[in-house]
Structure formats: C-alpha cells, structure tokens
Amino acid sequence: MPITDILVENAKLYGDEVALVEINPHIRKQRGITWREYELVETNPYKMYRREITWKEFNDQSNSFAHMLLHDGTVKGDKVAILMMNCLEWLPIYFGVLKTGAVVVPMNFRYSADEIKYCLELAEVKTLIFGPEFIGRIEEIVTSLDDVEHLYFVGEDCPSFADSYNNRIGHFSTEEIDIPLGIEDDAAIYFSSGTTGFPKAILHNQESLVAAALTENKHHGQTHDDVFLLMPPLYHTGAKMHWFGSLVVGGKAVLLRGVSPEWILQTVSEEHCTIVWQLVPWTQDIIDAIDSGEVDLEDYELDQWRLMHIGAQPVPPSLIKRWKSIFPNHQYDTNYGLSESIGPGCVHLGVENEHKVGAIGIAGYGWEAEVRAEDGSLVEPGTHQVGELCVKGKGLMNCYYNDPEATAEVLKDGWLYTGDMAEVDEDGFIFLVDRKKDVIISGGENIYPVQIEDFLRTNDKIKDVAVIGVPDNRLGEITAAIIEVKPGVQCTKEEIDKFCMELPRYKRPRVVIFEDVPRNPTGKIEKPLLRERHGSSRLVEQQNQR
C-alpha cells in the first residue's frame, strides 16, 4: 500500500472534516484581530490569519496538481522539487507529486541560490515548485538550470519565468490518478542537513513512508480525535513523519507559521491541540517566558494537551525535568532518527519510560538498534563503553542518490551506521554520547561534547550551549564552550570555570565564549559554522580576553 492510499481513504471516511489548518500569527499581530474574527479579513488566502481544508479538499487538490503535472509531461520516476515555506498548499502538492509516480524532492528553505542549484542538479530535478520567498534566489540561477523543464509558482504576482499554480490548478480534474504504485517504487529524496559538508541526496521508497507512518502511530497512539500541532519545516523528515502518525487515523493537524511562546500556547489553546512536537530551543523559550512572567498559563486552555515530544537533537534531562514540573500531566517522549532512516522513530524513549529521561531510548517499532565497537562487536551494557549506533528497519533509505561510495560507507549488510556515538546502560537503554565527527581528541583523550553540554545546561544562567574542539599546538585540540545566557542575565568566564569544577579536569572547557548558539531549522547546533568561526586558537584567545 503506498502512502497516497491513506489520503484517499481519509477523503472517503472523513471528507467533510478538517484535515489541515494554517495559522499565520504575524497577520494576526499586524491587524490586532482575534482568532474568531479571521473570516473578516479580506478573502485573499495569503493574507488570512487562519485557513483550513477538509480531507476531501486535501485529496482533490492533490489530484488536480497530479493531473497538472501529467499534462505538462511529468512521468513516473521524474524528480519534482518543492521549495516552499510551511503553508496549506504544501502537503497537497507533496501528495500530488507522489500520485503521479514521480519522486518528490523537498528542499531546505535556508538554501542560498547556489545551494538550490547544487541540490536540483544532484537530484536530477525536472520540475520545481516554489513560493514567493524564493523569487529572488530562483531568479539568480534560472538561466543556468539546464535540466529543470518546468517551474511552478505558488502565490500572488507570478514571476515571468514561471507558471502560476494558482491560476492553473482549478482547470484540472479532481479524479483519482490511475497510475499503479508499489511499495518498492522510488518515492522521495530528502537532503541531509549538511552539518558535515554539502548535503547528500537520500532516496526513499514508498515502503519507507508507510513504515514511518505506522511507527509514529504505534509510538504515540494518535487517534482520530487528536489534534497535532506542526511547527518544524515540512521539507524535513521529522515534521512530516510525525504528522504521518495523524494521517493514519485521519486526525487534524495545525500548521503554525511562527514559534514564539505566546503563539505556541495560544494555538494549542484555540485549536485544542493535544500533541505538540517541539525542538529544544522552543521548549526552553516557553519555560523562560513562563519563568519571567511574559506568559501566564492561566490565560490559555491547555488541559487537553496530552503529549509533548522532542527530537532532532540531544535533549538535556534538566530541560525535561523543568518542563514536567510545570506540566506534570503531560506525557513525554523523545525521538531519535535521521533522514537516512526516514526521520524519527528508529529509536525512541517511549512515554512509559520517563524515568530514563536523558536516554534516546530503545529500538522503535519495526526497528532494530545496536551499538557496535570499532571491531564490530556489540558494546557491553552498563560498562560505559562507547560505540557507533547502528539501526535496521523498513524505513532505511535505498541509497545516497547517484553516490555508491558514500552509500557503501554507511549501509552495510542491511544496517545503517549512523555516525552517532552511544553507550548502553544496564537496562538496554541507549544514550547518545556525540557525533563521531564531533568527538574532541585532546592529548589522546576522547571528549564527548554532548556530555559537557548537558552538564552546562544545568546552570540557571545558561539558555543554550555548544561545545566544540579548537586547535591547540600541544594537545591537538582543546575544549571550547560557546554559551548563550538567558535574557537580562550576566555571566562571566570565572563563574563558568567555578561551575565546571564538578567535571573531571580533562572535560572542563578551556575556552569560554559568550554568544548566541546557532541552530538550523530542525534544531541541530551548527557546529561546522562554530568551528569555522572559532577554529583559530588565537581568535579564541582574543574572544576569551574580551
């Protein structure tokens, strides 16, 4: 069964029920309107605070776009890229591509013009759908996109070099597409986050997408009555595959275009959201806003909110303990995954295992997980031995597209070698230690930055922290902590040095830099950027003396 069949079934079972809601808090703020007044805003959908579509409208729009693509020459196996911000059109377009048998290629909205061109060429894209935020970037490269045959623009004021999705979509049939799809058919190409260099094109088949949906629903028990708040970018596997758990049961989802604490809590309250998937920075921002009095929980209706879960990066145990002290009735889960494993779920903590907060958990539903030493043997549980996390399941990628050498490096005998270093406790729970490429080797000693970051986050003055290695003539590398303090708080290197006296001497940061910690749209710390910025020990010393 392809993933598109689930959408078709939802349209039959729940046709008149709301499938997707889009919330644009920026518009609401500009106009000072309340959510119940959204219908009074002029009819232009791109200037409305709140929009929604039913399951039937969702499926109809997907079918119409599929017919448009077929009319314009798209054939099964072609690559069709989506470069859009989260919006109500995004998912119908995604499913429309899949219904043609083409391979859908979601793209990172932060890509520069050159990166867009690189990824389009890497994935051999023939058709590109883009939104108004990207006109300038596409205009820079449009004359050099030799293999891109069609460009569709979603929005008002279509540029001259593209076809208007808005003007054309209504002219195509909403009938189902008669193209057979099998579980082994290529379905999607996702790009790696680029935290280790240029993005790789990760090819998945239909079976991967369905496996993600079943795994997510098994983990979090979504029902038809649940309402899922979706905030991370849809181009990433994380947001979409968590939503797939709601797709399975025809549950409503809310796309929130903004992540301030007030907007998140307001949307949970007004849309009666029951499940919220967050990133570490947003969770910390909500806690800080509550602690500072910026938001008052009494102003919101939150009793229906049953589950908060986090993924995409290591989660500080101190953060979750504080969250649970504020929201004691929330279930909590953490989810580990990679784009190579179709996003979250190959390892997960489980809502029944909150006593193990700090671990990423155990193998997810339909998955196997092992931690292997360099010689290939399994690490011994409870020994603090560190090895590489390896996973196996139906959600594994087919390959890195057109890159057999890179594929062979990580796919071995059906196992994905994740590049994440981990250890296993006496109960079989897996704890991430760090990325293999982020390990700091100082004086021959392996230092795992995540362990130091978790410790530093227990300091009440610290909002976020990243630990990297910087060059040192004598030791090879020394440890540097980039620290982002909470708003309105003063902190000194001497305070950090004193706080770190509890750490073993070799783990204590030798350098402390106070600045904002950069994270990508999926919440991962941009350590390559920090290493580039602070890669010179002389520069670090200058920063340290300020």
What is the rounded CA–CA span in Å between residue 67 and residue 182? Answer: 20
Q: Which of 258, 290, 315 is the last residue of a domain?
A: 258
Is residue 275 one of the residues assigned to a domain? no
Q: Say which CATH number the domain at 408 has.
A: 2.30.38.10
Give the pLDDT band (50/70/90) at residue 434.
Answer: low
Strands 343-348 and 103-106, by their bridges, are unpaired
Range with the lowest mean pLDDT among 163-167, 403-407, 503-507?
503-507
Q: Say which CATH number the domain at 221 has.
A: 3.40.50.12780
Other CB atoms within 10 Å distance of the CB of residue 104: 23
Give the pLDDT band (50/70/90) at residue 313.
Answer: low
| Residues in Cβ contact with 509 at an 8 Å cutoff, skipping those fewer than 6 apart | 452, 467, 479, 480, 481, 496, 500
Mean pLDDT (whole number) for 68-75? 97
62 and 208 share one domain: yes
What is the rounded CA–CA span in Å between residue 240 and residue 90? Answer: 11
| Total of domains in the chain | 3
Is residue 285 one of the residues assigned to a domain? no
The neighbouring-strand residues paired with 420 are 435
182 and 33 share one domain: yes
Is residue 380 one of the residues assigned to a domain? yes
Q: Say which CATH number the domain at 484 has.
A: 3.30.300.30
The whole-number pLDDT of residue 543 equals 44
Is residue 279 one of the residues assigned to a domain? no
The whole-number pLDDT of residue 197 equals 54
506 and 407 share one domain: no
133 and 161 share one domain: yes
Q: Is the pLDDT of residue 147 over 60?
A: yes
The whole-number pLDDT of residue 265 equals 96
Tell which wins on pLDDT, 533 or 122. Answer: 122
The whole-number pLDDT of residue 544 equals 46
What is the rounded CA–CA span in Å between residue 437 and residue 446? Answer: 12
* Percentage of residues of the chain with pLDDT beyond 90: 69
458 and 423 share one domain: no
82 and 22 share one domain: yes
Is residue 379 one of the residues assigned to a domain? yes
103 and 220 share one domain: yes
Q: Which of 383, 404, 436 is the last residue of a domain?
A: 436
Q: Which residue, 278, 116, 76, 103, is CA-closest to 202?
A: 103
Give the pLDDT band (50/70/90) at residue 173.
Answer: very high
Average confidence score pLDDT of the chain: 89
Q: Are the C-beta atoms of 314 and 281 separated by less than 8 Å?
A: no
Q: Which of 436, 464, 488 is the last residue of a domain?
A: 436
54 and 95 share one domain: yes
Is residue 264 one of the residues assigned to a domain? no
Q: Is the pLDDT of residue 192 over 50?
A: yes
| Residues in Cβ contact with 327 at an 8 Å cutoff, skipping those fewer than 6 apart | 302, 305, 308
Q: Is the pLDDT of residue 32 over 90?
A: no
The whole-number pLDDT of residue 527 equals 82
Is residue 327 one of the residues assigned to a domain? yes
Q: Are the C-beta atoms of 130 and 60 separated by less than 8 Å?
A: no
Is residue 296 one of the residues assigned to a domain? no
Q: What is the pLDDT of residues 227-266, one digit of tens each?
A: 999 998 999 888 899 999 999 999 999 999 988 999 999 9
Q: Is the pLDDT of residue 494 over 80?
A: yes
Q: What is the pLDDT of residues 366-402, one digit of tens each?
A: 999 999 998 999 999 999 898 999 999 999 999 999 9
C-alpha pair distances (Å), 230 with each of 61, 136, 257: 20, 27, 9
HSE at residue 154, side-chain half, CA atoms within 13 A, is: 22
The crossing angle, in degrees rounded to 10, of helices 317-326 and 280-292 is 50
The domain of 199 spans 3-258
426 and 450 share one domain: no
194 and 246 share one domain: yes
Q: Is the pLDDT of residue 545 over 50?
A: no
What pTM was computed for the model? 0.82
377 and 444 share one domain: no
417 and 482 share one domain: no
